[in-house]
A = this chain, B = another copy of it.
Amino acid sequence: MSCSPPLIAIDLEGILTPEIWIAVAERTGIDRLRLTTRDIPDYDQLMTGRLRILRDHHLRMRDIQAVIETLDPLPGALDFLNWARSRAPLVILSDTFYEFARPLMAKLGDPTLFCNSLEIDRDNRIAAYHLRQPNGKQRAVAGFKGLGFRVLAIGDSYNDTAMLGEADGGILFRPSANVAAEFPQFPVCQEYGELRVYITEHLKEDHDA
Number of copies: 2
State which residues 17-75 of A face B: CB under 8 Å: none
Is A86's beta carbon under 8 Å from chain B?
A: yes
CB neighbours (8 Å) of A91 from chain B are: 89, 91, 112
Among candidates B3, B112, B148, residue contacting A89 with C-beta atoms closer than 8 Å: B112
CB neighbours (8 Å) of A136 from chain B are: 147-148
Chain B nearest CB: distance from A65 CB in Å? 15
- Find out whether the CB atom of B106 lies under 8 angstroms from the CB atom of A5: no
* A interface majority secondary structure: mixed
Q: Tell me the complex Cα distance, A139–B119, Å.
A: 30
Is A113's beta carbon under 8 Å from chain B?
A: yes
Chain B nearest CB: distance from A106 CB in Å? 6
CB neighbours (8 Å) of A105 from chain B are: 86
Closest B residue to A86 by CB, please name it: B110
Q: Tell me the complex Cα distance, A149–B140, Å.
A: 11
- Find out whether the CB atom of A89 lies under 8 angstroms from the CB atom of B114: yes
Interface digits, A70-100 against B, CB 8 Å rule (1 contact, 0 not)?
0000000000001001100111000000100
- Find out whether the CB atom of A109 lies under 8 angstroms from the CB atom of B112: no
CB neighbours (8 Å) of A4 from chain B are: 132
Chain B nearest CB: distance from A133 CB in Å? 4
* Contact surface of A with B, Cβ cutoff 8 Å: 1, 3-5, 82, 85-86, 89-91, 98, 102, 105-106, 109-117, 119, 130, 132-133, 136, 139-140, 143-144, 146-149, 206
